[in-house]
């Protein structure tokens, strides 16, 4: 190697290292050479479609969506002893989403640049071309379709139907330096999505954003954004907001704090903000609330178990997978076959309220689940209690419900024959029950027939 070539190579590599960041250019430590990783600047809203041919993909995996970044074109090169005076660099060009045909076209153009700059260094010109002109040179426009028809064979074309406007388009022999290092559509989809997500995260972390809660400007690395709405809040404010919601049991309210915004935080975002312990509570409450909304899921009634149990369609028996307890899914008691459920008074009241507050669909569901007879019993039971509460009083001795139709205020219980006052509900002496109304010290003095006329008027109304 001549002194001029060695100095030219050293100067060129040194200049490239100072121009490009390490993530784009890495100098080889063993030989004169290195690696370029070229990420193309895609136009806004660049749409890409990946389809898999049935011959290589039984599941016909596909993807269609907007991406901001695609995996890089990788140029590996080595500078031979005669470069730049007598020979070009030795190189390979690889990419996951460009076809071998397209990579061959790029290789040919790199060779053409060497001919134009014969005797001069070419690496910077190569880098500029790959980064700034690849899309135009290969006629890549949005929307863009990529289809994998076989292992190691990728065919890319514009959805508009245009072919590559290059002199080597349709070449029969592919350039051996062109390497497509992907073999299946599923692998390509994963690669594209993962790379796009990582690059978008890097861009987000490096920018400043205004938190709409504390109105402070912070780096994206200190913030969280909601993908659906793109609203951004600092981690400190969002953490406090989520902690309050989880502690209050409002796990379905972990959405964007922006008023009237329905974007929901992902489980990963919640976990990163609130920590492992509180996230476990969130996860448990979220599962619980989701199961509660499922009509065919009931819980084992044993207090020490409470395992979710799937209810068989049309059936009323549930068998707990944990404790093996067989129970009726309606009354939650031990399974009793076709015998009617023994629904408690408290349950009947709750069922009555739920039935009256439901719409027509909800009422049909309750009738199907509990039976019309049970629903009717619940309605009648509550109505009876309401009537008794309004028109009757309970015996102060035995509690029997008694209705006063007419007569004086001295009452006799039909259940235990106890004498009592209708006005103050105190028990009366069996030997002289009227003494209560004639004794001046009694609060019901001279009230034996008080309010009789008023009660009659109310009954007439």
Catalytic amino acids? 408
Indicate the helix (H) or strand (E) that contains 420.
strand 419-421
> In Å, how far are 327, 377, 397 from 344, measured between CA atoms?
16, 11, 25
What tokens were used for 121? 């260094």
CA angle 80, 84, 90 (to 5 degrees): 40
Q: How far apart are CA 335 and CA 41, in angstroms?
A: 67
DSSP-derived pairing of the beta strands 46-52 and 62-67: antiparallel
- Residues 6+ positions from 346 with CB-CB distance below 8 Å: none
Asked if 285 contacts 246 with a C-beta cutoff of 8 angstroms, the reply is: yes
**Dihedrals φ, ψ of 320, to 5°?**
-70, 130
Q: How far apart are CA 413 and CA 402, in angstroms?
A: 7
Asked if 130 contacts 106 with a C-beta cutoff of 8 angstroms, the reply is: yes
> In Å, how far are 4, 10, 80, 168, 429 from 15, measured between CA atoms?
16, 9, 18, 33, 117
Among 242, 210, 229, residue whose Cα is nearest residue 220? 210
Half-sphere exposure for 412 (CA within 13 Å, toward CB) = 6
DSSP-derived pairing of the beta strands 144-150 and 46-52: parallel
Q: Based on DSSP, count helices (H) and strands (E) in the chain, helices before strands.
A: 12, 21
What tokens were used for 178? 């062109």
DSSP SS3 for 319: strand
What tokens were used for 457? 């008027």
CA angle 436, 442, 445 (to 5 degrees): 75
Q: How far apart are CA 332 and CA 344, in angstroms?
A: 11
- Residues 6+ positions from 411 with CB-CB distance below 8 Å: 402, 404, 419, 420, 421, 422
| Beta-carbon count within 10 A of 14 CB | 11
Peptide bond into 84 cis (omega under 30): yes
């Amino acid at each position: 190697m001549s002194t001029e070539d060695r100095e030219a190579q050293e100067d060129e590599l040194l200049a490239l290292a100072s121009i490009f960041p390490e993530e784009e250019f890495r100098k080889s430590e063993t030989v004169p050479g290195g690696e370029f990783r070229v990420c193309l600047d895609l136009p806004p809203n660049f749409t890409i479609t990946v389809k898999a041919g049935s011959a290589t993909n039984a599941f016909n995996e596909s993807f269609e969506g907007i991406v901001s970044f695609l995996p890089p074109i990788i140029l590996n090169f080595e500078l031979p002893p005669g470069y730049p005076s007598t020979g070009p660099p030795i190189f390979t060009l690889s990419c996951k989403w460009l076809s071998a045909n397209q990579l061959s076209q790029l290789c040919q153009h790199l060779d053409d640049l060497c001919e134009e700059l014969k005797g001069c260094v070419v690496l910077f010109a190569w880098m500029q071309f790959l980064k700034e002109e690849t899309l135009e040179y290969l006629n890549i426009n949005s929307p863009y379709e990529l289809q994998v028809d076989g292992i190691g064979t990728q065919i890319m074309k514009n959805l508009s139907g245009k072919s590559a406007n290059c002199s080597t388009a349709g070449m029969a022999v592919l350039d051996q330096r062109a390497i497509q290092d992907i073999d299946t559509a599923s692998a390509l989809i994963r690669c594209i999505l993962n790379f796009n997500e990582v690059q978008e995260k890097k861009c987000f972390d490096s920018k400043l954003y205004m938190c709409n809660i504390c109105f402070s400007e912070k780096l994206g690395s200190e913030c969280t954004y909601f993908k659906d709405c793109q609203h951004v809040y600092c981690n400190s404010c969002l953490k406090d907001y989520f902690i309050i919601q989880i502690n209050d049991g409002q796990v379905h309210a972990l959405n964007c704090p922006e008023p009237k915004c329905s974007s929901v935080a992902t489980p990963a975002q919640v976990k990163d903000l609130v920590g492992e312990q509180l996230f476990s509570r969130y996860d448990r409450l979220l599962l619980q609330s989701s199961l509660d909304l499922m009509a065919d899921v009931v819980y084992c009634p044993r207090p020490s178990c409470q395992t979710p149990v799937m209810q068989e369609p049309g059936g009323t028996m549930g068998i707990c997978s944990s404790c093996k307890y067989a129970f009726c899914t309606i009354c939650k008691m031990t399974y009793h076959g076709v015998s009617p459920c023994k629904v408690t008074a408290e349950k009947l009241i709750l069922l009555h309220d739920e039935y009256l507050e439901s719409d027509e669909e909800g009422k049909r569901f309750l009738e199907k689940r509990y039976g019309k007879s049970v629903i009717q019993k619940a309605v009648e039971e509550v109505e009876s209690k309401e009537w008794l509460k309004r028109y009757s009083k309970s015996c102060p001795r035995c509690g029997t419900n008694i209705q006063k139709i007419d007569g004086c205020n001295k009452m006799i219980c039909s259940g235990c024959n106890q004498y009592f006052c209708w006005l103050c509900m105190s028990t009366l002496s069996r030997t002289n029950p009227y003494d209560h109304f004639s004794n001046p010290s009694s609060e019901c003095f001279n009230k034996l027939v008080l309010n009789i006329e008023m009660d009659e008027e109310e009954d007439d109304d």
